Chains A and B, each alone.
Chain A
């Protein structure tokens, strides 16, 4: 029997970043890393905690009580009611939360529904838990809505969980309340867990869409089925701190906590202090970041519109990714998004993520991050345009 190490590969996102790092002069719009440094208010508070000797020992396994209380309060403001003592677990980033949850709920061979395209590392996390990913398409023509017919057809006796990303990486879209409730209905009927990864919750650019954003974690009657995951990485430019959290009903949380404890003992305490400081930031302190991301999205969008003869693009409503479709008929030597991305890096010095990384229905797309600096975005667009001019009919 093959080991996990034999079967899991480094994600294509990280593979592209590694390739880019080896190519001198490469510009990367691949990995979703905010170009900003962590806000000063957070760094200052962490410095104080460090100086006071607060960070050198483990915290309780679910995290610092004060941090979890803050999280409970924040969730309450967003219409989600969870008990900080038994239902909130601070994790080493969102991916640890996902891994701990899958390891806690899956038996070997259990199937987990993944929407396609969605975040590339989900499939590895499922494989790590000895589960089987089952891809269900999102329909591009309907704004990447869930194909509910395909979802129903995909469910079988081994279906154990649905793992969704909302707002969705890489499409930059938001799942509708109707789709989410339909997923919930199916999950209830089959006693399936719904893992909802909402790390891009703060990156919704339309004010109305932000206000109307719906999460299944807000429905008390579903709390025994829903595990919601959030990360500080994106919203507070803290990708390197590796801190996030999950919350769910205590019946599930107690199982996940045991796995979390086995995996990491606790999230890094210094990062928990950073998370605490992040939650104490005022909204107006975060507004400049939101504004900057919106400007970068518009910058990338304008550039992609000018490349309309080569790429079909939709304005991202959320996240910091654009996910245009390659007009493959324009490329005589096109051999799939992976080959395209590798050639783009090799010949034009631009790293993007091939759409196939996000599932079979991501094929023929590329993902570009506008979390990077405006200079990188401008240069990336220039290189993309030059590549198309050289390689199209």
Chain B
């Protein structure tokens, strides 16, 4: 969007200077490779060139932004791992990402973190806490996929987090998954039964 607006608002000459900046020079190179005969200031393929450039630039921006935000969240999670009073940093950044980009963009990052750090119980607990704040329809389909992956986590507090997410979603379709959950701790059995009762009566 930023790229498209800039192209529309600026002259082609100014855009040429802009795209030659280090960030976009490789995209320009790739795009020129597709259109070897095209010069930015003229030529019949200029519209197609701009479209391809724009698409590639957006992809690149997406990758850069995703990497930057993922690293930020991982740093937040490392602080949370040391002190769970530090959850607010992770919470604030996840809220900002969802608000600045989209919940689905946040979801992509959360899924990546889940895949890479699945063994880290504290990270997974934080992911569950994050999911609790969103309604089910906001995080479909990736939210339920994460929950299905985490429900059999070996750590009881991750399981607790998963049950808490399901309770917040109040989704009856998840009842079979909860009923099949095997827990030994009495406090967790009590909580699980409460949530099952709640969903049944919802």
Answer yes or no: are A and B bound together in one complex: no
Q: What residues make up the interface of A, taking CB atoms closer than 8 Å to B?
A: none
Q: What residues make up the interface of B, taking CB atoms closer than 8 Å to A?
A: none
